Amino acid sequence: MFKAFYKSPIGPLEIISDSTAILEVNFVRSDREVPEPGKYVTDVIRQCIKELEEYFAGTRKKFDVPYKLEGTDFQVRVWKELEKIEYGATVTYSEQAKKLGDIKAIRAVGTANGKNRLAIIVPCHRVKGNDGSLVGYAGGIDKKKWLLLHEQEHSDGAVRQSLF
């Protein structure tokens, strides 16, 4: 396992990988000093940092860095559905549950989204409450709002929609 930190515009991110794929991208919730990536950072972490920089610059809309989805079969299905949400677009938890084939699975979908360990790369920030409100984001609602507004600002007109 390898670990590095990236100082993003919305706070530091911890990036964890094995030698071939990203395993986690998490918001760091403390005010502690975040070290710069060291010389032992893997190529896949370097690629992840480069792609995150492009995302925050507004030039990357989809991530190509290899990553692994590790969870239950249901969680992986939920996360794969998240990957289908276009940059700049949002869906509700009920819409996501419908796409998975079970409208009654709304709470389970929300729980699975909350266990997503690949923040930003697997875009659970693009899921809103059924009433359109911003709810349930591990990084905090302020970060979710920032990410959605950022994507709206950099998306093409075909995808733009009302966020709030």
Active site residue 48: no
Neighbouring residues of 51: CB distance < 8 A, sequence distance ≥ 6: 60, 63, 64, 65
Question: What do you get for the CA distance between the two ends of the chain, in Å?
Answer: 39
Q: How far, in Å, CA of 12 to CA of 90, rounded?
A: 24
| Beta strand ranges found along 18-76 (DSSP E) | 22-27
Q: How far, in Å, CA of 58 to CA of 7, rounded?
A: 16
Question: In this structure, which amino acid lies at residue 117?
Answer: R
CA dihedral sign of residues 132, 139, 150, 110: negative
Q: How far, in Å, CA of 55 to CA of 87, rounded?
A: 10
Q: Say which of 118, 124, 147, 148 is annotated catalytic.
A: 124
Return the active site residues. 124
